Amino acid sequence: MNHEKTTLEIIAPTVEEAVAKGLTQLGLREEEVEVEVLDAGSRGFLGLGSRQARVRLWIREKEGIQNSTTLENEQKRALQIEKKRTSSSATPQSTPMEADSQEKFILQTAEQITGELLQKMHLKARLRATMLPPEDENDQPTVMVEVQGEDLSILIGRRSETLNALQYITSLILSKEVGKWVPLIIDVQGYRARRERQLKVLARRSAEQVVHTGRKITLEPMPANERRVIHLELRDHPDVTTESVGEEPNRKVTIFLKKHHS
């Protein structure tokens, strides 16, 4: 390990969970660190050899030299995408009159990044990027990239580890391109709908636990569209209410008793 910088190495089931755990331990926000993905975890090939994700967080002190091969590869990809984008069209940066143009640029870039990563994985797929409206006034719109094709279950992996890693890396590159964090979801062959059903079950069970124990529950960090599922599922619950807490990309849903149960 390089001792010239303060670093923290974290192992967790997914890249996103590892980064969130590391940020919690350091007491920092994502923009205050650099992330090196040492191991994205098992991609589920043939269902064998699964392993947890491993990341290293570097506390950002200055524009130091980065020795991480993974980070360098991500930067190279971002530079390649930037060259292609600037050579094909000179899109002006955000002006009030061009909100639609900015949105189209974000969607096109998200499709391009996802497509290039899938090509590197030797996978063929059809892509379609759309913008989901924000959950509430505190949230940003979320980019949804839908991936369709044959034999793409490998992209999901065990417990969606591969999909989460692909989504996280795509988010990193997209955010570098846009110049700010852009919430992004990648859906593979309707996986999101299946995940939505799981989240509804999670919401109901968590609500039951809150009612039974009288203690609030804070769920794991979720993207905006997944938090929306929890909120909607419990919106009309007679005993509990929900709210989102924290900052992107680590906002969480908290479920707690309504005041008349205090």
Residue 94 lies inside a defined structural domain of this protein: no
Residue 30 lies inside a defined structural domain of this protein: yes
Query: Are residues 174 and 215 both part of a single domain?
Result: no
Structure tokens at 197: 């059903």
Query: Are residues 160 and 201 both part of a single domain?
Result: no
Span 16-45, pLDDT tens digits: 888 888 888 888 888 888 888 887 765 443
Last residue of a domain, one of 189, 211, 227: 189
Q: Where residue 160 falls among pLDDT bands split at 50, 70, 90?
A: confident
Residue-number span of the structural domain to which 237 is assigned: 192-261
Residue 23 lies inside a defined structural domain of this protein: yes
Query: Are residues 165 and 217 both part of a single domain?
Result: no
Instruction: Please give the tally of structural domains in the chain.
Output: 2
The chain-wide mean pLDDT, for the chain, equals: 79
Query: Are residues 221 and 173 both part of a single domain?
Result: no
**Whole-model pTM over 0.75:** no
Span 105-125, pLDDT tens digits: 999 999 999 999 998 888 889
Last residue of a domain, one of 169, 189, 209: 189
Residue 145 lies inside a defined structural domain of this protein: yes
Last residue of a domain, one of 139, 161, 189: 189
| Amino acid sitting at position 242 | T
| Amino acid sitting at position 128 | R
Residue 2 lies inside a defined structural domain of this protein: no
Query: Are residues 222 and 237 both part of a single domain?
Result: yes
Q: Does a cis peptide bond (omega within 30 degrees of 0) precede residue 92?
A: no
Structure tokens at 181: 């964090």
Task: Provide the CATH number for the domain around residue 74.
Answer: 3.30.300.20
Q: Which of 216, 235, 220, 223 is nearest to 181 (CA)?
A: 223
